Amino acid sequence: MPSKRFIVITLRHSRGAVIGIVAVLILLTALIIFEPNVIPTQAELTGYTIAIDPGHGGRDSGSAHAGVYEKEITLLLSQAIAKEIQARGGTAVLTRTSDTDLWDYISYEEEIEITKREYKQDLELGRTIDSRDRGIALGTRFPPTYRLGLRARLLIAQQHNADLLLSIHTNHYRAESAKGAVTLYQPHSHESQQLAVAIQRYLKDLLPGRADPGIKPDNFFILRRSEIPAVLLEIGFVSNKGDREFMLSEEGQKAIAEAVVNGIEDYFSYISTLASY
Ligand SMILES: [Zn+2]
C-alpha cells in the first residue's frame, strides 16, 4: 500500500507523462500534415535520365562574339545543368564533356543507312519530308560532315535510354539589342511542346526577350530526328552584353541550371498527372 505522499508524486508524474504523450502526438500530426515541407525535395528526378547536349564543339565553334565561342558557353551551361539534375536525384548524360565535334562517331555509310530507314518511316507515317533527308536516302545528296556529329548526339542519348534530350545553344544577332531566351521544340511532338513551355516559363524571367512566350517549333535536325521528347534551348544572345555576361558568370550559370531543371520537374509532374487519368 503506497503512502499518500507517494501517490501524489505518481499522479504528478503521470500527468507529466500524459502531457508528454499529447505533445508527441501533436508533433507527429504536424509532421504528417506538413510532410511535403519536412521531406527535402532532393529526389524529384529519381529514376529519370536526361541527356544534355552542349551544342557545337571541336571544329564547329558555333557563333562567336567578343572572343567568346558558343561551343565554350554551351559546355559550361550544360555542365551546370547536369550538376543540378544530379543534385535533384536524376541521371544526367552529357553528349560531350570536352572540345570535340563528334564527327568521327559514325561513318557516312552508317548515316546513309539510318537516313534511309527514317525516310521510309516518314513516308509510312505520312510525315512532312525534309528535302535533305530525301536526297540522302535516295542517293542524290551526300550527308554533310556536321550531320554525323549531330547524329552522334542522338545516338548517345538513345544508348543511355534517356527520357529527354536538351540541346543547349546560344543565340546571335547583328544588333546588340536582341536578347533573351528562346526555346525550340519538335513540331510533331506534344510532349516536346509541353517541355518547351515548362522550361521557357522559368528561363524568360532570368533572360527576358522581346518575343513572348519565346517558344517555337523548329525542324532542326536534332529536333526532327529525336525519338524522345527534345527541345533546343537558345539560352541567351552572345551578341548582347547583358546576356553574355550573365551566361559566363558562375551565378548566372547556377540560376540558368535551376531554371531549366525546375522546368523539367514541372514537365514530369504534368506528364505523370496525365498518366494517372
Ligand atoms: Zn548553336
Written as tens digits, the pLDDT of the chain (277 aa) is 444 444 444 445 566 666 666 666 655 555 555 444 444 444 689 999 999 999 999 999 999 998 999 999 999 999 999 999 999 999 999 999 999 999 999 999 999 999 999 999 999 999 899 999 999 999 999 999 999 999 999 999 999 999 999 999 999 999 999 999 999 999 999 999 999 999 999 999 999 997 677 999 999 999 999 999 999 999 999 999 999 999 999 999 999 999 999 999 999 999 888 777 6
CA 225 to each of CA 11, 155, 185, 219, 228: distance values in angstroms, whole numbers, following the listed order:
77, 10, 12, 9, 9
| Ligand 1 centroid to residue 62 C-alpha, Å | 5
| Ligand 1 centroid to residue 273 C-alpha, Å | 33
Residue 59 lies in a domain: yes
pLDDT at 27: 58
pLDDT at 29: 57
Are 44 and 60 in contact by the 8 Å Cβ rule? The answer is no
pTM: 0.83
| Ligand 1 centroid to residue 153 C-alpha, Å | 14
| Ligand 1 centroid to residue 154 C-alpha, Å | 16
| Ligand 1 centroid to residue 17 C-alpha, Å | 68
| Ligand 1 centroid to residue 249 C-alpha, Å | 19
| Ligand 1 centroid to residue 167 C-alpha, Å | 9
| Ligand 1 centroid to residue 169 C-alpha, Å | 4
Number of domains the chain is built from: 1
**What angle separates helix 250-275 from helix 241-248, to the nearest 10 degrees?**
80
What gap in Å lies between CA 235 and CA 75, rounded to an integer? Answer: 12
Residue 264 lies in a domain: yes
| Ligand 1 centroid to residue 185 C-alpha, Å | 15
pLDDT at 58: 97
pLDDT at 136: 98
| Ligand 1 centroid to residue 19 C-alpha, Å | 66
pLDDT at 36: 45
Residue 5 lies in a domain: no
Residue 190 lies in a domain: yes
Residue 119 lies in a domain: no
| Ligand 1 centroid to residue 37 C-alpha, Å | 40
What gap in Å lies between CA 187 and CA 178, rounded to an integer? Answer: 25
| Ligand 1 centroid to residue 233 C-alpha, Å | 9
Give me the domain span that covers residue 157.
49-103+147-275
Residue 126 lies in a domain: no
User: Which of 169, 171, 200, 173 lies closest to 262, judged by CA?
Assistant: 200
| Ligand 1 centroid to residue 63 C-alpha, Å | 7
| Ligand 1 centroid to residue 157 C-alpha, Å | 18
pLDDT at 243: 96
| Ligand 1 centroid to residue 48 C-alpha, Å | 26
| Ligand 1 centroid to residue 57 C-alpha, Å | 10
| Ligand 1 centroid to residue 38 C-alpha, Å | 42
The answer to whether the Cα torsion of 75, 77, 82, 86 is positive or negative is: positive
| CATH classification of the domain holding 156 | 3.40.630.40
Q: How many CB atoms lie within 10 A of CB 21?
A: 10
* Look-up of cell digits 519538335: 186
